[in-house]
Amino acid sequence: MNAAIRAVVRGSTYHQKEVFGIFRGYEGMIDGEIVKLGARSVGNIIQRGGTILKSARSDAFRTKEGRKKAMENLDRFGIDSLVAIGGDGTFTGLHAFYKEYGIPSICIPGTIDNDIPGTDYTIGYDTATNTAVEAIDRIRDTALSHNRLFFIEVMGRHSGYIALNSAIAGGAVAVILPEQDVTFDQLYTLLEQSGKANKKSSLVVVAEGSKIGGANELAKMVADRSSYFDIKVTILGHLQRGGPPTYFDRVLASRMGIASVEGLIRGEKDAMVGVFENKIVFNLFASIMNGQHHEIDEESLRIAKILSI
């Protein structure tokens, strides 16, 4: 997100537009936590995870009065267009605000879940997945040395992107996604088969939103059924949400940040910037916000299955 903030600030400065940072999202908009930024205020942040502007959930912004206060603050600073970074909640808030006040707004998709339609990639997803893969590689050393079965839980309450691609890249024997209808029996059969196929150790990647249970539950279910496996569990949790972003995320965020500013100058409004086939695109909020989900790639699922034999 810092790379995106930097790009919005420098893109605005380049195009001779004044630019302000609003701290703590919509909450800061309501409380007037707004500061003028310039090219130098965003130095030395491209390599840092998180966001220098901080983030907050805002119940007040869901109310008409909250949004009215936010608009008064924007008027006070002479702010006439907005760029917000976030996911579903951020978009919904911005769309409501646009409908009420007509202030041109662009959203930049920022979530490690990569679950937003209208873009192939969201900011943070590549970094989080690389972190998961690195962790899986490290865990594999123990799994191999001790002939163990590991259940590794990765983030993704509703989205299996991190799980699926870290499983392929980390060489997992199985992956359990929120989007899938797999049964425990199917998983168990697969583990038995991998034992018969002479695998001494196995890694199973589980997305936290798995419908058949998280890593702890699945480990217990396997242990209850058989004492054959020496089972361990690792839950990666918020490790995946921090740390220096990958080159891919920095470039993606930089492109989206500049595109947002230039889009606003061109007259884009009420839209999300995205990348599709490596080109910048703009999608109107209404076209992506009707309960759609960025679908899991069936071909990747097939590949994961073939590779796990």
153 in contact with ligand F6P (CB under 6 A) = no
Residue 27 vs 208, nearer CB to ligand F6P: 208
How many angstroms separate the CA atoms of 115 and 131, rounded?
18
Answer for which of 7, 112, 289, 301 binds ligand F6P (CB under 6 A) is 112
CB distance 201 to 149 below 8 Å: yes
273 in contact with ligand F6P (CB under 6 A) = no
Residue 2, amino acid = N
157 in contact with ligand F6P (CB under 6 A) = yes
Answer for which of 113, 153, 268, 270 binds ligand F6P (CB under 6 A) is 113
The span of 19-27, 62-70, 149-157, 271-279 binding ligand F6P (CB under 6 A) equals 149-157
Give the residue numbers marked as catalytic. 113
CA-based radius of gyration for the chain = 22
How many angstroms separate the CA atoms of 220 and 216, rounded?
6
Answer for which of 27, 126, 179, 208 binds ligand F6P (CB under 6 A) is 208
DSSP single-letter state for residue 211: T
The span of 139-147, 152-160, 228-236, 273-281 binding ligand F6P (CB under 6 A) equals 152-160
Instruction: State the Cα angle at 281 between 279 and 284, rounded to 5°.
Output: 170
- Contact positions with ligand F6P (CB under 6 A) in 241-260: 241
Specify which residues 29 forms β-bridges with: none
At closest approach, how far in Å is the CB of 128 from ligand F6P? 8
Answer for which of 94, 155, 176, 191 binds ligand F6P (CB under 6 A) is 155
How many angstroms separate the CA atoms of 265 and 14, rounded?
12
Torsion angles phi and psi, residue 251, rounded to 5: -70, -40
Q: Residues in contact with ligand F6P, total (CB under 6 A)? A: 8
The span of 105-113, 167-175, 191-199, 265-273 binding ligand F6P (CB under 6 A) equals 105-113
CA distances 29 to 106, 258, 285, Å, are 16, 22, 21
Positions that interact with ligand F6P (CB under 6 A): 111-113, 155-157, 208, 241
